[in-house]
Amino acid sequence: MKNIIKKLKKRNRAFTLIELIVVITIITILMSLILPAAQKVLASARKSKARTYMKQIAETYCRYYQDNGFIPDAYNNVQFLVGCASQGELNNANLFVFPGDKKAAAVLQENIWPVYEGYAWEEGKHLSVNLIANIAREVSAATTPVAFSRGLDVEGGRWSQEDGVWGSEGGFVAFLDGQVRWYTDLYDKLSTTSGSTESMQAAVDSIGGKILGTDTYAYTSPYSSYYAYYSDSSGSSSSSGSY
């Protein structure tokens, strides 16, 4: 009986300090191995979501171009996006704010259109994507860029560590045929009438296009601003600008 009691006492004894330190050390090592892997999985999932958003944007451009033969002009991204949304194709404000983008504007309302007062995104911040307007007729859809993730040096072809959605790691470029590609840089990867280039600006200039900024502005009435721009003096919608 005494032997049984002694065994129970030995079995129920508390952990020593050394044993606790060993356990904590093992847990710390495991966490240091698991956390980076989990962060990579999360980052990959966010990037995949951003690619999906870019794909939806590119496919909308593609459909509009196939139906109309051109992409219209706009003063800035606000007017362009209100025009897109009014057609019911790109009316989701979330598409222009990528998951994990710390510099992106908060989405204030999911639907961009109809907008009569205020705006769909937080003012004074940025969208995650630059859009391209005023694309001329008869261009090669497979090589014509229509959008790219924010932070690209449009002349140098690299994404900025400070302003890029993924820092200097790279970014997405969407094309008029609906394709979206990831690039670490654009060195000799874009096409112009005179050959390959790393300059997004040169590629866009060659098709007569315009790169729109990512800043978010709040108008008293983006609705009125859009139609003021796209209407002629008689008050009817202009055939050359209506999106």
- Could you write out the three-class secondary structure of the chain? CHHHHHHHHHHCCCCCHHHHHHHHHHHHHHHHHHHHHHHHHHHHHHHHHHHHHHHHHHHHHHHHHHHHCCECCCCCHHHHHHHHHHCCCCCEHHHHCCCCCCCECCECCCECCCCCCCCCECCCCECCEEEEECECCCCCHHHCEEEEECCECCCCCCECCCCCCCHHHCEEEEECCCCEEEECCCCCCEEECCEEECCHHHHHHCCCCEECCCECCCCCCHHHHHHHHHECCCCCECCCCCC
Least confident range of 35-44, 91-100, 115-124, 141-150: 115-124
Residue pointed to by tokens 């008869």: 138
pLDDT of residue 3: 59
Least confident range of 102-106, 164-168, 202-206, 231-235: 231-235
Kindly tell me if the per-residue pLDDT of 142 is higher than 50: yes
pLDDT band at 42 (very low <50, low <70, confident <90, very high): confident
Structure tokens at 147: 């959008």
Over residues 216-240, mean pLDDT: 43
pLDDT of residue 90: 85
Read off the pLDDT of residues 176-217 as tens digits, 9 standing for 90 and up: 999 999 999 998 889 877 788 899 999 999 999 999 999 886
Of the candidates 183, 228, 226, 218, the residue with the CA atom closest to the CA atom of residue 203: 183
Looking at mean pLDDT, say which of 23-32, 37-46, 173-182, 210-219 comes out highest.
173-182
Contacts of 95 by beta carbon, 8 Å cutoff, 6+ apart = 53, 56, 57
Read off the pLDDT of residues 144-186 as tens digits, 9 standing for 90 and up: 999 999 999 999 999 999 999 999 999 999 999 999 999 999 9
pLDDT of residue 224: 44
Residue type, 49: K
**Bridge partners of residue 175, in order along the sequence:** 145
This prediction has a pTM of: 0.76
- Beta-carbon count within 10 A of 39 CB: 10
Kindly tell me if the per-residue pLDDT of 129 is higher than 90: yes
Over residues 69-90, mean pLDDT: 82
Do residues 32 and 39 touch, judged by C-beta distance below 8 A? Answer: no
Looking at mean pLDDT, say which of 25-29, 204-208, 218-222, 228-232 comes out highest.
204-208
pLDDT of residue 176: 94
Over residues 67-93, mean pLDDT: 83
Report the C-alpha gap between 219 and 235 in whole angstroms: 21
Least confident range of 8-22, 74-88, 171-185, 228-242: 228-242
pLDDT of residue 54: 96
